[in-house]
């Protein structure tokens, strides 16, 4: 809402296992700036509570917002394809259905959200993120003692990506009030694919980005004591594997960031090995002078959580229960922009004649809006209910027309032994060329790729080959030992005609 844009102070907090970092930001018409920061132990004892209250009491003198980020390892992230939602409001409904299928927790025991990563014709790639409520219990108790409400909950890596995205543009200020947010091209231009590499002390996080949205990310441990040639060679191999897995042919940019002495040398080595435009990024360059930005990069996730929570960054993630819709409707956004423009024009008109008439007009308009507020609320509620029904109908229609996938999943469920665990599944439809129109349905094929763990990977090959649904079953890549189990990746061809014949036999 427009009144949120008038809040001057914002707290960004990044939690770790035993401590948390606080960044206090100030918003004004010039933009967003850092006022102060501090680190506290992750405890709720009296001494820690008093120290936090001293800090907040010094800087929080008016209305404020609080946005926090938690470690990626506390959460479960799953990238999957879902039907293209008709509106932002339906994303959570689809997310709940997908999370119940992919996340090994009861829905009532987690906080969750979904972020649309890439839209296609009739579907989209979505990042499903869930965090067990027990992981947040310590944070809840801490803020309960502080009598502070949390407005947004994100994960540290997405918060870091938000800070990197807005490091090259001016965030907030009068542009935010008018709704004229600048677009960053740090990960590539519109519809271009880029990579982000965030280097930590013991691990790196590799992300695939498109339109400033994360389509995939992977945490990669490394040994900083090893020679640069070995580190860059191993990392280049992993990057090429990821690109092949996602069927990406070209990368337009590689953004390397992090508080590490390896930063520049590794960026130069990757530029040579991958032949891609590579640049080093300081995620705080847009908020602090160059010397302070270099020293305080540890604040990036805390600041990025604020940018995301305020709606300035492309990744808008909030794992808290969504009692209020995150995104207002297009009409509401337009009203907000018009209202913001009216505020600025009103300030200019003070120097002009007719100010009294302008004030009276605005007062009459406010009275009219207030008088019809209850009726507008009823209309919005009915419209929301109608949209929900339409989205459910559309979703069920999509499921009905794609029952082929359900049959494949059912067959896999029946075939897989108890000792096997599938961690990822890819199903891509193709069609044989040169078929006549009436033969197209029989010529439809699909490629199925599953990855996971099992006591005996070779046993899975024979099980799949024995099914009427699959043919050309084969391993993709080597079999690796992972403890007592084998890490497998298997590819098979699915023929729709065989599934239909199997269904007809079942009906008989």
The predicted pLDDT at position 96 comes to 80
Is residue 287 located within the same domain as residue 275? no
pLDDT score of 394: 65
Number of domain units in the chain: 4
Residues 238 and 206 sit within 8 Å (Cβ to Cβ): yes
Say yes or no: 34 and 172 in one domain. yes
Contact 472, 448 (CB under 8 A): no
Q: CA 506 to CA 498: how far, in whole Å?
A: 12
Is the model's pLDDT at 480 over the cut of 50?
yes
pLDDT of res. 88: 63
Per-residue pLDDT averaged across 396-418, rounded?
Answer: 73
pLDDT at 508: 46
**Residue 192 CB partners (closer than 8 Å, separation 6+):** 210, 252, 253
The predicted structure's pLDDT at residue 122: 78
Do 51 and 171 lie in a common domain? yes
192 in the same domain as 128: no
How buried is 372 (Cβ within 10 angstroms: 0-12 exposed, 13-18 middle, 19+ buried)?
Answer: exposed
CATH number at residue 298: 3.30.420.380
415: left (phi over 0), alpha (psi -120 to 50) or beta: alpha
3-state secondary structure of 63: coil
Residue 383 neighbours by CB distance under 10 Å = 11
313 is in which domain, residue-wise?
1-183+282-352
Q: Specify the pLDDT at position 284.
A: 87
**Is 165 in the same domain as 42?**
yes
Query: Which of these, 506, 475, 468, 472, lies nearest to 490 by C-alpha position?
Result: 475
Tens digits of residue pLDDT in 132-157: 999 999 999 999 999 999 999 999 99
Q: What is the pLDDT of residues 72-126, one digit of tens each?
A: 999 999 888 888 777 666 777 777 888 887 787 888 899 989 888 888 777 888 8
Same domain, 380 and 427: no
Q: Same domain for 81 and 165?
A: yes
Q: 201 and 334 share a domain?
A: no
Instruction: Please tell me the distance from the alpha carbon of residue 262 to that of residue 224, in angstroms, as a whole number.
Output: 8
Whether 276 contacts 253, CB under 8 Å: yes
Residue 259 sits in a domain whose CATH number is 3.30.420.40
Helices (H) and strands (E) in the chain, counts: 16, 18
Mark whether 255 and 344 lie in a shared domain: no
Over the chain, what is the mean pLDDT? 80
Pairing of strands 123-132, 480-482: unpaired
CATH number at residue 446: 3.30.70
Evaluate if residue 39 carries a pLDDT over 70: yes
Q: What is the pLDDT of residue 218?
A: 92
Overall average pLDDT of the 213-240 stretch = 92
Shared domain check, 157 and 195 = no
Is residue 439 scored above 50 in pLDDT?
A: no
Higher-confidence residue of 293 and 236: namely: 236
Q: Are residues 212 and 236 in the same domain?
A: yes
Cα dihedral value 441, 443, 444, 445, nearest 10:
160
d(CA 130, CA 218): 17
Asked whether residue 463 carries a pLDDT value surpassing 80, the answer given is yes
Asked if residue 108 and residue 220 are part of one domain, the reply reads no
pTM of the model: 0.62
348, pLDDT greater than 60? no
Task: Pick the last residue of a domain from 281, 299, 320.
Answer: 281
pLDDT band at 321 (very low <50, low <70, confident <90, very high): confident
Can you tell me the distance from the alpha carbon of 98 to that of 377, in angstroms, rounded to the nearest whole number?
31
Q: What are 161's two structure tokens?
A: 């990506």
- Distances 208 to 81, 192, 247 between C-alpha atoms, Å: 16, 11, 12
Least confident range from 118-127, 433-442, 481-490: namely: 433-442
List the strands of the sheet with 19-28, edge to edge.
31-41, 19-28, 9-15, 64-70, 152-155
The whole-angstrom separation of Cα 391 and Cα 313 is 27
The pLDDT of residue 68: 95
397-404 long-range contacts (CB < 8 A, ≥24 apart) are 398/83, 398/122, 404/446, 404/496, 404/499
- Check residue 167 and give its pLDDT: 85
Beta bridge partners of 255: 196, 279
């Amino acid at each position: 809402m427009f009144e949120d844009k008038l809040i001057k102070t914002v707290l960004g907090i990044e939690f770790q296992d035993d401590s948390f970092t606080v960044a206090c930001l100030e918003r004004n018409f010039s933009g967003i700036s850092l006022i102060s920061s501090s680190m506290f132990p992750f405890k709720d004892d009296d001494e820690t509570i008093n120290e936090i209250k001293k800090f907040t009491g010094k800087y929080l003198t008016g209305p404020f917002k609080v946005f926090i980020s938690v470690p990626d390892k506390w959460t479960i992230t799953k990238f999957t394809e879902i039907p293209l939602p008709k509106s932002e409001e339906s994303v959570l409904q689809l997310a709940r259905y997908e999370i119940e299928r992919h996340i090994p927790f009861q829905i009532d025991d987690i906080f969750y959200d979904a972020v649309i990563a890439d839209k296609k014709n009739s579907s989209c790639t979505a990042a499903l993120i869930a965090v067990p409520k027990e992981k947040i219990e310590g944070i809840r108790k801490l803020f309960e003692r502080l009598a502070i409400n949390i407005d947004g909950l994100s994960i540290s890596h997405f918060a870091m990506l938000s800070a990197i995205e807005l490091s090259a543009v001016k965030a907030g200020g009068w542009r935010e009030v008018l709704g004229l947010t600048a677009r960053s091209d740090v990960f590539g231009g519109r519809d271009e694919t880029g990579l982000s590499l965030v280097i930590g002390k013991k691990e790196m996080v590799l992300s695939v980005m498109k339109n400033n949205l994360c389509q995939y990310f992977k945490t990669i441990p490394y040994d900083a004591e090893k020679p640069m040639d070995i580190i860059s060679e191993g990392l280049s191999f992993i990057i090429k594997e990821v690109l092949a897995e996602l069927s990406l042919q070209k990368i337009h940019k590689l953004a390397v960031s992090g508080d590490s002495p390896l930063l520049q040398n590794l960026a130069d080595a990757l530029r040579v090995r991958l032949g891609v435009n590579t640049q080093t990024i300081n995620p705080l360059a847009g908020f602090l002078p160059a010397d302070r930005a270099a020293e305080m990069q540890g604040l990036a996730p805390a600041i990025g959580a604020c940018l995301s929570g305020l709606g300035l960054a492309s990744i808008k993630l909030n794992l808290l229960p969504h009692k209020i819709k995150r995104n207002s409707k297009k009409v509401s956004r337009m009203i907000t922009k018009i209202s913001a423009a009216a505020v600025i024009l009103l300030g200019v008109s003070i120097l002009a004649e007719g100010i009294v008439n302008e004030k009276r007009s605005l007062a009459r308009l406010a009275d009219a809006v207030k008088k019809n507020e209850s009726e507008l609320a009823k209309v919005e509620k009915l419209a929301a209910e109608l949209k929900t029904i339409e989205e459910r109908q559309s979703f069920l229609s999509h499921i009905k027309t794609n029952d082929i996938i359900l049959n494949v999943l059912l067959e896999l469920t029946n075939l897989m032994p108890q000792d096997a665990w599938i961690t990822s599944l890819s199903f891509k439809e193709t069609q044989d060329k040169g078929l006549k129109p009436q033969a197209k349905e029989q010529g439809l094929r699909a490629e199925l790729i599953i990855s996971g763990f099992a006591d005996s990977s070779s046993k899975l090959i024979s099980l799949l080959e024995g099914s009427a649904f699959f043919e050309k079953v084969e391993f993709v890549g080597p079999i690796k030992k992972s403890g007592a189990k084998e890490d497998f990746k298997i590819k098979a061809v699915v023929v729709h005609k065989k599934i239909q014949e199997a269904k007809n036999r079942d009906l008989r």
